[in-house]
């Protein structure tokens, strides 16, 4: 029997709720990735101290409006598309892990394209403090930032970093959403070894699956995430090749994993919260749709 058909927007709401909780960590990750001229890579705590000392504790929520816009475009499309494709694939029985992985990657590509403008705004708003005052964008919120972006760079400005962002979205959805489904299926399939404990489709299973998925996603996506942040925060016509070449020359290959720790600390809880919220929203929807 096919699963309940869920509203397309359900995943976007769950991801938005998670983003509100983890935004300071996302902001710290982006600032670590876009700080380029220090001889020693900045630590997560030094970036947090720098942010608070310059703009106060409220600065840790700079760009929250862009984060919500991003989740209601990028995550809404990637999760909604995946659920739709998955429902189609499983109409006549369980789909293979390979098919579900490809479905997750395709949905990720669609989400990356849909969320690109909001991603640009989010990166610029969260990394503005790391730029010289004369080069700051000073977007007050996502809507005014979107208008300013279009006025300054035209509609083509909305596609800045689209290639790296789409590649990252493919990797993210495949490694996060695809692996979540994989781990959840494996945990529910048979008792855990050494513990003789059978998982059920409940909160414990959702948390365990999402922690594993967050670990996989952070590792797979780190290089693309750094390059995306560098391209989107850049001004002028600097290309991905130019930015990568300069970063490799000045910082070495390790720059591709800048911000890995806050990315993991952020993506782990974000993945857990996103899937927990999403699963609870789906549970609530099933309850509403079931006959009374």
Please check the confidence at residue 39 and state whether its pLDDT lies above 70: no
- pLDDT per residue over 122-168, tens digit each? 989 988 887 888 888 999 999 999 999 999 999 999 999 899 889 88
CA distance 205 to 21: 21
Give residue 292's pLDDT: 55
CA distance 126 to 205: 33
At 2, the pLDDT band (50, 70, 90 cuts) reads: very low
- pLDDT per residue over 188-213, tens digit each? 988 877 667 888 999 999 999 999 99
Please state the pTM of the whole predicted model: 0.80
Q: How much of the chain, in percent, has pLDDT values that exceed 90?
A: 50
Which tops the pLDDT comparison, 251 or 107?
A: 107
CA distance 11 to 276: 11
2: left (phi over 0), alpha (psi -120 to 50) or beta: beta
Return the H-helix or E-strand segment holding 167. helix 162-172
At 103, the pLDDT band (50, 70, 90 cuts) reads: very high
Q: What architecture (CATH level 2) is domain 10-281?
A: Alpha/alpha barrel (1.50)
Among 65-74, 83-92, 110-119, 282-291, name the one with the lowest average pLDDT. Answer: 282-291
In Å, the largest CA–CA distance within the chain is 65
CA distance 91 to 107: 18
Give residue 82's pLDDT: 96
CA distances 226 to 36, 114, 273, Å, are: 11, 20, 23
Give residue 259's pLDDT: 74
Domain boundaries, the chain: 10-281
Give residue 1's pLDDT: 37
Q: Is 253 helix (H, G, I), strand (E, B) or coil?
A: helix
- pLDDT per residue over 48-81, tens digit each? 887 787 778 888 898 999 999 999 999 999 999 9
């Amino acid at each position: 029997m096919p699963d309940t058909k869920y509203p397309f927007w359900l995943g976007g709401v769950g991801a938005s709720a998670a983003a509100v909780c983890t935004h300071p960590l996302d902001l710290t990750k982006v600032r670590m990735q876009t700080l380029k001229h220090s001889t020693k890579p900045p630590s997560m705590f030094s970036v947090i101290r720098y942010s608070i000392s310059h703009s106060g504790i409220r600065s840790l929520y700079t760009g929250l409006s862009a984060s919500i816009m991003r989740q209601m475009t990028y995550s809404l499309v990637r999760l909604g598309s995946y659920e739709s494709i998955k429902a189609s694939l499983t109409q006549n029985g369980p789909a293979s892990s390979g098919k579900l992985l490809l479905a997750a990657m395709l949905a990720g590509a669609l989400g990356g394209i849909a969320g690109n403008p909001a991603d640009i705004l989010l990166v610029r708003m969260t990394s503005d403090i790391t730029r010289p005052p004369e080069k700051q964008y000073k977007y007050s919120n996502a809507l005014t930032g979107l208008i300013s972006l279009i006025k300054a760079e035209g509609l083509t400005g909305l596609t800045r970093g689209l290639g790296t962002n789409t590649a990252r979205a493919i990797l993210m959805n495949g490694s996060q959403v695809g692996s979540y489904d994989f781990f959840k299926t494996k945990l529910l399939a048979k008792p855990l070894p050494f513990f003789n404990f059978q998982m059920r489709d409940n909160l414990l299973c959702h948390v365990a699956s999402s922690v594993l998925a967050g670990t996989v996603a952070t590792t797979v996506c780190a290089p693309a995430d750094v390059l995306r942040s560098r391209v989107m925060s850049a001004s002028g016509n600097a290309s991905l090749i130019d930015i990568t070449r300069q970063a490799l020359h000045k910082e070495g290959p390790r720059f591709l994993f800048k911000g890995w720790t806050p990315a993991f600390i952020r993506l782990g809880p974000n993945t857990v919260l996103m899937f927990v919220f999403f699963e609870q929203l789906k549970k609530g929807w099933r309850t509403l749709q079931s006959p009374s």
